[in-house]
Amino acid sequence: MQTDLIQEARRQAEICNACRYCEGYCSVFPALHRERAFSDGDITQLANLCHNCRGCYYACQYTEPHEFALNLPKALAEVRHDSWKSHAWPQGFATLFDKSGVAIGAGLLLAFTFLFVLAQALRPESGEGFYAYMSHGLMVAVFAPAFLLPLAALAVSLRGYWGTVGGGSLAVSDIWDACRSAGRMKNLEGGHGDGCNFEDEDRFSHARRHFHQATLYGFLLCFASTSSGTVLHYGFGMEAPYGLFSLPKLFGVPGGILLCIGAAGLAWLKTKADRNLGAPKVWGGEMAFVLLLFAVSATGLALYAATGTGAVGWLLPVHLGTVLTFFLLTPYSKTAHGFFRMAALTKEAASKRAAAI
């Protein structure tokens, strides 16, 4: 990891540790105040605990023009991004994506869409729904490795992160506490439950928390839709297309709508917020990721709405291209932050449990 980023975050954390004005704002400050000195692993853990709500910055008396020039949200955002990159595997892909992430994402999307258009020339002689345009076997051959290989890469990355932050053994309660915190988006509630100041210094709002929740639960519902379809196909011999009141549709349609709302809302909020309170160099890449997430859900809903019409022939390649691009970029784009955030929340729960013993 970049030593200068760690050093600057450490300088600011030490000042915050002496001040303690922001103690009740989020999980970062109780974790910070448990320490007397900060190793590189401690700073990395604090960075991944931070949800960049920015309330501490607007409350701080030591921001510029004070000589301390504190900007803890920015310092932790830069360490956080660097931690994903430094722990990513294979390392070469992470470095390449960091330099040209938007171009790589756009190139993959166009290339995969074109390839899926060409693949329709191999369409089966018979089939219903999507399978009239592309065989089930071809979809499985493409998407099974595209889903499993990024997960394997993420597992290697998280193992490296866990070692860096000094993660030890866990209890089931630690994982449960982390899941509850993530589900509530507790760290975006603000110190007094009024919300955070992400968009504006003087305005407390729960908008970012609610859009994050819509994105999270929408994504989980879409995953449940795909999983239930897999079980129905292989376990019960029930092949797609599925009706509106089937599990894949009951999960997938609300999930897609929530994902659209959440991603669009987060993109909108990013345009309103001060870029200098995050990691400015990766603002464009983060926005591209949010828009890609929106495209995955929007094209999926459009494809469902177009079922039985000629529009399926061109919507299907576009949707499959966005999904495949999203999967393959998962270990190197901001998608990874969800996995690192869960690891950080779990580590924090374990540390709090150990401190209470």
How confident is the model over 96-148, as pLDDT tens digits?
Answer: 888 888 899 999 999 999 999 998 877 776 667 777 888 888 888 999 999 99
User: Given this model, what pLDDT does residue 202 score?
Assistant: 77
User: Given this model, what pLDDT does residue 195 score?
Assistant: 84
Distance CA 89, CA 91 (A): 5
User: Given this model, what pLDDT does residue 1 score?
Assistant: 64
For 261, the token pair is 């709302």
Residue 149 CA: distances (Å) to CA of 98, 142, 249, 328, 330: 20, 12, 27, 8, 10
Per-residue pLDDT in tens (0 to 9) along the chain, 357 residues = 688 999 999 999 999 999 989 887 888 999 999 988 999 999 999 999 999 999 899 989 999 999 999 999 999 999 999 999 999 999 888 888 888 888 999 999 999 999 999 988 777 766 677 778 888 888 889 999 999 999 999 999 999 999 999 998 899 999 999 999 999 998 998 777 788 888 877 788 999 999 999 999 999 999 999 999 999 989 998 888 888 899 999 999 999 999 999 999 999 999 999 999 999 999 998 999 999 999 999 999 999 999 888 899 899 999 999 999 999 999 998 899 999 999 999 999 999 998 887
State the number of CA atoms in the 13 A half-sphere of 293 facing the CB: 30
User: Given this model, what pLDDT does residue 207 score?
Assistant: 92
Nearest-5° Cα angle at 29, 27 to 33: 125
User: What does the domain layout of the chain look like in residue ranges?
Assistant: 89-356
Give the burial class of 88: count Cβ atoms within 10 A of its Cβ; 0-12 exposed, 13-18 middle, 19 or more buried: buried
Residue type for 207, please? Answer: A
Residue type for 24, please? Answer: G
* Preceding peptide of 65 cis, ω within 30°: yes
How confident is the model over 173-199, as pLDDT tens digits?
Answer: 999 999 999 999 989 987 777 888 888
User: Given this model, what pLDDT does residue 138 score?
Assistant: 87
